Amino acid sequence: MNNNNNKARLLQGNEACVQGALYAGAEFFAGYPITPSTEVAEGMSRELPKVGGKFIQMEDEIASMAAIIGASNAGCKSMTATSGPGFSLMQENIGYAYITETPCVIINVQRGGPSTGLPTKIAQSDIMQARWGTHGDYTAVVLAPSTVKECFEEVVRAFNLAERFRTPVVVLTDEVLGHMREMMEIPEPGEINVIRRHKPDVPHDWYKHFEITPSFVSSMASFGEGYRYNVTGLIHDQEGFPTANPVEIKEKLDKLRLKIDRFADEIYKIRTDMMDDAHIAILSFGTVSRSARQAIKMARDKRIKIGAIQLLTLWPFPDAKLREMLSGVRKVIVAELNMGQLVNEVKRIAPRHTEVHELQRYDGEVMAPQQILDKIREVK
């Protein structure tokens, strides 16, 4: 691995994503340049060949998503990176990855939207798209780091979740996080556990590529290993053949949901700061959480009992866990860089006695700690 004697390095957020992917054992990257994610593709083009991995710059984002799915079915851990317009283009094939249960990682370095939007400015407005971007019913796994070190860790976690649950995993960063530089130490190999998809342990003729198991996750053979299976985007039975049978259709769609929902506790990740005696909470994710952590320090100096909650796993949304956390507070401020996407989820699950307040910014600028402090003073 590209690990200089474990010394701390000054890394860009996008570069940390590259290092995280390499640490997790990424073997294939296909991408298309788009600001502010281009550095991920550039980093992978330099580093992957050095470790015998495969890099290809495809003709567009649609082809990039297609290529990483093809490579994953051929046995490689694969990843792509993009931003808003590219993420929109990828949606059809992301849906294909969901229904074919193909492990892969998609990094979306969010920028202002919609459309061409603000290529060089920050936003957090792809939360709902990351959950529901493609048509149909499916359950998404979406992670959101807030520091350069978390970029590294969350990409490693994304690969692990993708391989474990046989699902695409989206990592949402943003333009500021992608381009900022912070010191971080790359862990030694083995410090963070890295897993690979479960391989079949049955004879070739018995193998079912979409077998419904107790965990609802099927083992996954690769092309060329002797299991000559069929993969299709049509709704299919456990062997991968298209079906129109209502029982099999429901079984397949339930499988996609249950494999994530039943183990959601192992996917949730929430960081709390100073929540033990808090009466007010700031709920946020990504870059805003950095400002929130600063703001609560400033508020505590003014003797306001306040804490911060950061969601590192955005989807599945931690309904029960969050409700429990909020039951001890009287007010929660949901701070996000969009026109109100996360706040509706919070309103949905908040305990009756907890007031939910919105703090939104969507002019392409970061949310300053002072802004959060002003809101705290306003609602307390």
Partner 1 sequence: MDKIAHGSDVTHHYLRPKKKFPNVWCAGCGNGIVMGALIRSIDRLNLDKDKVVVVSGIGCSSRMPVYLDFNTLHTTHGRALAFATGVKVAKPDLKVIVITGDGDALAIGGNHFIHACRRNIDITTILINNKIYGMTGGQFAPTTPGGSFATTAPYGNYEKQFDAVKLAIGSGASYVSRGTVYHVQQLEKLIEGGLNKRGFSLVDVYSNCHTYYGRFNKEGDAVKMLEWFKKHAMPIEAARKLPPEKMVDKFVTGLIHETDATEFCQEYDMLLDRLGVKKEVAK
Q: What CA–CA distance (Å, rounded) separates 141 from 149?
A: 20
Shortest gap between Cβ of 218 and partner 1 (angstroms)?
16
Binding residues vs partner 1 (CB under 8 A): 27-28, 30, 49-54, 56, 58-60, 62-64, 66-76, 78, 92-93, 96, 222-226, 228-234, 239, 241-242
Shortest gap between Cβ of 52 and partner 1 (angstroms)?
4
Tokens at residue 333, please? Answer: 């401020």
Question: Which lies closer to partner 1 via its Cβ, residue 160 or residue 287?
Answer: 160
Q: Which residues contact 343 (CB under 8 A, 6 or more apart)?
A: 334, 336, 356, 358, 360
Rg (CA), the chain: 21
Question: Which lies closer to partner 1 via its Cβ, residue 243 or residue 371?
Answer: 243
Cα angle value 15/104/216 (rounded, 5°): 140
Question: Which lies closer to partner 1 via its Cβ, residue 66 or residue 217?
Answer: 66
Shortest gap between Cβ of 69 and partner 1 (angstroms)?
6
Of 102, 141, 144, 137, nearest to 266 (Cα)?
141
Instruction: Judge contact between 243 and 236, C-beta under 8 A.
Output: yes
Question: Which lies closer to partner 1 via its Cβ, residue 137 or residue 355?
Answer: 137
Question: Which lies closer to partner 1 via its Cβ, residue 35 or residue 91?
Answer: 91
Tokens at residue 157, please? Answer: 């976690």
Q: What CA–CA distance (Å, rounded) separates 220 from 210?
A: 8
Shortest gap between Cβ of 289 and partner 1 (angstroms)?
35
Question: Which lies closer to partner 1 via its Cβ, residue 7 or residue 50?
Answer: 50
Shortest gap between Cβ of 93 and partner 1 (angstroms)?
6
Half-sphere exposure of 66 (CA within 13 A, CB side): 10
Shortest gap between Cβ of 178 and partner 1 (angstroms)?
25
